[in-house]
Amino acid sequence: MNIIEQTLSNIKIMTCLTMLTLLAACGNKQNNSTTTTAEPVGPEFSADSAFNFCQQQCDFGPRIMNSEAHEQCAQWIAAKFREYGMEVTEQKAVLKGYDGTKLNSTNIIASYQPQAKKRILLCAHWDSRPWADNDPDEANWKTPVLAANDGASGVGVMLEIARLISTQDSTNTSQASSLNAQLGIDFICFDAEDWGTPQWSDSQEDSGDTWALGAQYWAASHHKGHKPQYGILLDMVGGQGATFYREGFSKRYANDIVNRVWQAAAAIGKSSYFPQEDGGYITDDHVPVNRLAGVPCIDIVPHYPDCEQSSFGPTWHTVNDDMQHLDRNTLKAVGQTIVQMLWSEQNNTPEK
């Protein structure tokens, strides 16, 4: 992804002695003692299960476009959603990269209760950055990124949500643990998000159109069926020391959904992960979902205000975006917040 109006030119690249030193500078202590009058609802989100889904994606290696690992992982993701009872569509397209490369892209669309008129969209990208172009070591700038956080984490959270839905009929003991029977959910794993113009490229212009190619394609063509009332994008939702500020385009297009998500986090005692503070404007998959598909969509994306390496955190687009730098606590905070949103969903219609 790429930052708009809060550009990467303001970010200093520094050499780290160790990643632990960097994480100490970028991280922040989590305090989940927030009190709220709202009641937690829904099943327990398993951070261990989500972490395992991330590991299984990374076991294929970097899922860069046109690679064998990319194709194998696509098949695995689709199979997992089918295992959990979802109706899966694989939206294939040949897209054009910033440098003219033809990219064999697959958006994986998994639908729960596809006949339901009331729908919510959950989405994340699943491809890996082909180049660690923000790594402190210039020698790594053309090395593929494993993308444990920037790719696998969002899909891992969605797969755990799908697993919980698949088991709800046998585990429901109260109304608070039941999904709205009229609710449909579309899980979309967007492809070709991270082929955006690298920092080392001779191309000096990057309007943002070279990013989020799979989301652009989906939004322009839109899959058949009922239009989601709103969407939530999960991007880099497993990083150590992560906090999620209110992203600019999210507030512009879907401020009521931003408020509801941050309230959901407060209801489960996770306000320290979701502070009532604003971040920058981020070019990400939610932008075409808003602008082209007309679905109000927010971005849950980390913001590290004190991190010199990147405001996205110390491992962003580096070779250190690996399983060692994922945090189950972050996955839990985000995943349980999404559970709170879905399981408290009634018949209200979001404001446009």
Higher pLDDT, 217 or 2: 217
pLDDT beyond 80 at 31: no
Q: Is residue 20 part of a domain?
A: no
Task: Please give the residue range of the domain that contains residue 51.
Answer: 36-198+205-343
- pLDDT band for 36, please (50, 70, 90 cuts): very low
**Distance between CA 113 and CA 261 in Å, rounded?**
23
Domain assignment present for residue 44? The answer is yes
Q: Residue 284: name the closest of 222, 219, 224, 200 by CA.
A: 219
Q: Which residues contact 85 (CB under 8 A, 6 or more apart)?
A: 112, 165, 166
pLDDT at 317 over 50: yes
Domain-located, residue 27:
no
Q: Does residue 1 lie in a domain region? A: no
Distance CA 155, CA 236 (A): 10
Q: What is the pLDDT of residue 273?
A: 98
Mean pLDDT of 156-182: 81
Rounded mean pLDDT of 121-135? Answer: 98
The pLDDT score that the predictor gives to residue 222 is: 73
pLDDT of 105 > 60? The answer is: yes
Specify if 308 maps to a domain.
yes
Q: Is the pLDDT of residue 175 over 80?
A: no
Structure confidence by residue, pLDDT tens digits, 222-240? 766 789 999 999 999 999 9
User: Would you place residue 203 in the very low, low, confident or very high pLDDT band (cuts 50, 70, 90)?
Assistant: confident
> What's the token pair of residue 130?
């082909």
Name the average pLDDT for the chain: 88
Q: How confident is the model at residue 170 (pLDDT cuts 50, 70, 90)?
A: low
How would residue 88 be classed by pLDDT, with cut points 50, 70 and 90? Answer: very high
Q: Where are the beta strands (DSSP E) in 271-316?
A: 281-283, 297-300
Residues 172-180, mean pLDDT to the nearest whole number = 64
CB 212 within 8 A of CB 288: yes
Per-residue pLDDT band at 178 (split at 50, 70, 90): confident
Contact 239, 282 (CB under 8 A): no
Q: How many structural domains is the chain composed of? A: 1
The alpha carbon of residue 28 and the mean position of all alpha carbons in its chain are separated, in whole angstroms, by: 21
Q: Which value, to the nearest 10 degrees, does the dihedral of the CA atoms of residues 166, 168, 170, 174 take?
A: 180
Q: 210: Cβ–Cβ under 8 A, 6 or more apart, which residues?
A: 97, 98, 195, 196, 197
Q: Does residue 21 lie in a domain region?
A: no
What pLDDT does residue 223 have? 61
User: Residue 6: pLDDT above 80?
Assistant: no
The CATH number covering residue 232 comes to 3.40.630.10
5: in domain: no
- pLDDT value for 169: 58
Distance CA 250, CA 235 (A): 13
Indicate the pLDDT class of residue 302, thresholds 50, 70 and 90. very high
Question: Percentage of the chain with pLDDT > 70?
Answer: 84
Report the alpha-carbon angle 266-159-197, nearest 5. 90
Edge-to-edge strand ranges of the sheet holding 118-125: 87-96, 102-112, 183-190, 118-125, 230-234, 297-300
Query: Is residue 22 in some structural domain?
Result: no
- The CA–CA distances, whole Å, from 64 to 51, 196, 221 equal 21, 12, 24
> Is residue 65 over pLDDT 70?
yes
